[in-house]
């Protein structure tokens, strides 16, 4: 039984575009482009919007809070 061996240089040539694409994808996912100056008013408005959305979701239990309350109640019993 013969084992098919691909020379190292040939495999590097074949996989080089895939490797470059994978590295580019990882750079974009983990290190997204960030602006040079951060607008403090924009960050504050995102914070306020997040707080308002959180307060709106709390009574509707869409944020998964119902499960959390059930788990904490069960832990308090034991």
Tell me the domain boundaries of the chain.
40-78
pTM for this entry = 0.35
Q: Is the pLDDT of residue 55 over 90?
A: no
* pLDDT value of position 47: 93
* Half-sphere CA count of 19, side-chain side, radius 13 A: 6
Output phi, psi for 16, to 5 deg.
-60, -45
Please write the tens of the pLDDT for every residue from 9-53.
666 777 888 889 989 888 888 876 776 777 888 889 999 999 998
């Amino acid at each position: 039984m013969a084992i098919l061996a691909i020379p190292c240089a040939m495999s590097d040539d074949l996989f080089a575009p895939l490797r470059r694409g994978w590295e580019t994808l990882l750079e974009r996912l983990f290190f997204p482009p960030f602006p040079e100056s951060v607008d403090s008013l924009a960050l504050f408005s995102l914070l306020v919007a997040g707080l308002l959305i959180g307060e709106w979701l709390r009574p509707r239990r869409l944020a998964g809070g119902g499960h959390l309350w059930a788990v904490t109640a069960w832990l308090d019993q034991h």
